[in-house]
A = this chain, B = another copy of it.
Amino acid sequence: MCELLGMSANTPTDICFSFAGLAKRGGKTGPHRDGWGIAFYEEKGCRLFHDPNPSAESELSELVKNYPIKSELVISHIRRANRGKICLANTHPFIRELWGQIWCFAHNGQLKGIKKEPLTFYQPVGTTDSEHAFCWLLDQIRLNFPKRPAKLAKLHQLIRDCCHQLNQKGVFNMIMSDSQHLYVHCGTRLHWITRRAPFGEAKLLDEEIEVDFSRETTPNDIVTIVATQPLTTNETWQKMGKNELQILTKGVFLKND
């Protein structure tokens, strides 16, 4: 099992607090020793950190924990290898460009037979099931929408259908972004919390850290965090349903069409 973390916010927000909890699971409070990665969007650009070393011992991870990179969209992944050797090319999140947008994808689970699915535009660089699934998903989007559609409802429906297909192949917990939306699919296990005014205090489950969000936010901020397991002890996290896709933008869930 790997651990996923995603954030969608309506204002650039640092993820130091949540990442500190997640990173601890990479080799200390959790068994996820086989690398980690994090992507921060900054408008259309995307800043990526990848490390095949355990996050709990990584110098890069220290940098990310302490360097308050602010972003409205973040995707992170801590890996426990089950398919594919431990190397940089197999480290999530994966990225590709479609319609001049950077798409970013992180996955937890196994997908039986996924590598038999033929690919058209995108080819995996590494050997994971996950990257193959990402290439297949982007292929479907590109085959159906060679150009970015003006109305997004049909695109969202296609992504939902593809996620359901992938889910039938095994376990498909996924967080993906197109630089505007956060697409979150729960196969077996994902939790979320939305923080907005009045902000309170939060206490990490995995490390002795507390944060008082009311000191770091404005009353208009909306920040939704998605994670495999709740990261804090004193807040109420919502459990997602199985085979449920949610789409967020600016911290807010889109209504299902």
A interface list, Cβ under 8 A from B = 42-52, 59-60, 63, 67, 87-91, 96-97, 99-102, 121-126
Contact = CB atoms under 8 A, between A and B. Distances in A.
For this chain, the copies found in one complex come to 2
A119 to B, nearest CB: 9
Which are the 7 A-B pairs with shortest beta-carbon distances?
A: A45-B88, A45-B89, A100-B123, A42-B88, A44-B89, A44-B125, A63-B63
A101 B87 CA distance: 15
A234 B129 CA distance: 50
Contact of A50 (B45, B63, B96): B45
B50 A50 contact: no
Contact of A63 (B43, B47, B59, B126): B59
A228 to B, nearest CB: 24
B88 A102 contact: no
A125 B101 CA distance: 6
Contacts of A47: 50-51, 88
Given A50-B45, A59-B67, A100 B88 contact: no
Contact of A43 (B44, B60, B88): B88
Contacts of A46: 88
B96 A125 contact: no
A114 B211 CA distance: 50
A52 B121 CA distance: 30
Contact of A99 (B50, B90, B99, B123): B123
Nearest to A40: B88
10 contacts: A42-B89, A43-B88, A45-B87, A45-B90, A45-B91, A47-B88, A59-B63, A60-B67, A99-B123, A121-B121
Given A48-B48, A59-B67, A42 B87 contact: yes
Nearest to A101: B125
A23 to B, nearest CB: 16
B96 A97 contact: yes
Given A60-B63, A97-B123, 14 more contacts: A42-B52, A42-B88, A42-B89, A43-B88, A44-B126, A45-B50, A45-B89, A45-B90, A45-B125, A49-B49, A60-B67, A97-B125, A99-B123, A100-B123
Contacts of A42: 52, 87-89
A124 B100 CA distance: 5
A50 B89 CA distance: 18
